[in-house]
Amino acid sequence: MTTDASGPALLVVDDNEDNRYTLVQRLRRLGYTDVATAVDGRHALQCLRERDFDLVLLDVMMPELNGYEVLEHLRADDKLRHLPVIMISAVDQIESVVRCIELGADDYLPKPFNPTLLRARVGASLEKKRLRDQEVCYLQDVAQVTSAAAAVEAEAFDSRMLSAVAERPDALGQLARVFVRMASQVATREAELKKEIQVLRIEIDHAQQTRQVSEITETEYFLELQRKAKDLRYGRATAPPNS
């Protein structure tokens, strides 16, 4: 992730002050204004843990912790393992190049380096990172849509779950917007169905009560009670049976 609004953030790692200054000035002339420096391998790892960078230009030969060892640390770190690294060194032997690539370096530049080659390889590494970041973001948004589908099934969907994805200008954003609209329609329909079911239950309960009353009133016992009540109402009490 770029940490400066003006452009990508670069970290130059070299134990030689003159080399650091020269490389920083070349990068700034190429238009890269956010360039930080580290004086050795340990300092580099500290910088990388304190803020985000888009590219590291890493010297190979340094005391205490050399470029190979720094690269090994980066590739073993889940957060930093995909950070692009260009190895820079006066060592131009093929064995050094091979070792850097095997350790996960994205590119290699010999010192003294060619400014045109520096421009091309820095630009290519940053473009590679940009495309990877886009892919990671896309996969995360796809996972968000999948989670939203599961939430709909669990009746726990909230349209805010897809608010960020719905802002995408591509097909995935369109899918998210359609999904939110359809989920809203489904929720509205379900609410209507629940109301209809509630009304139907009330009607069923009423019908059951009516049927139960009807079953009672149609019995001989109930009819006899009605006749006795009628006789009492008109003063015609039933005479007691003979002793």
3-state secondary structure the chain: CCCECCECEEEEECCCHHHHHHHHHHHHHCCCCEEEEECCHHHHHHHHHHCCCCEEEEECCCCCCCHHHHHHHHHCCCCCCCCCEEEEECCCCHHHHHHHHHCCCCEEEECCCCHHHHHHHHHHHHHHHHHHHHHHHHHHHHHHHHHHHHHHHCCCCCHHHHCCHHHCCCHHHHHHHHHHHHHHHHHHHHHHHHHHHHHHHHHHHHHHHHHHHHHHHCCHHHHHHHHHHHHHHCCCCCCCCCC
Average pLDDT over residues 16-23: 92
In which band, very low, low, confident or very high, does the pLDDT at 39 lie, cut at 50, 70 and 90?
A: very high
Q: What is the pTM of this model?
A: 0.68
Average pLDDT over residues 135-146: 87
- With a pLDDT cut of 90, the percent of the chain lying above it is 38
8: pLDDT strictly greater than 90: yes
Q: For helices 115-153 and 17-29, what crossing angle results, to 10°?
A: 70
Q: What is the mean pLDDT of the chain?
A: 83
Residue 83 is predicted with a pLDDT of 95
122: pLDDT strictly greater than 80: yes
Pairwise CA distance, residues 38 & 15, whole Å? 8
Q: How far is CA 207 from CA 60, 108, 139, 200, in A?
A: 88, 85, 55, 10
Residue 240 is predicted with a pLDDT of 53
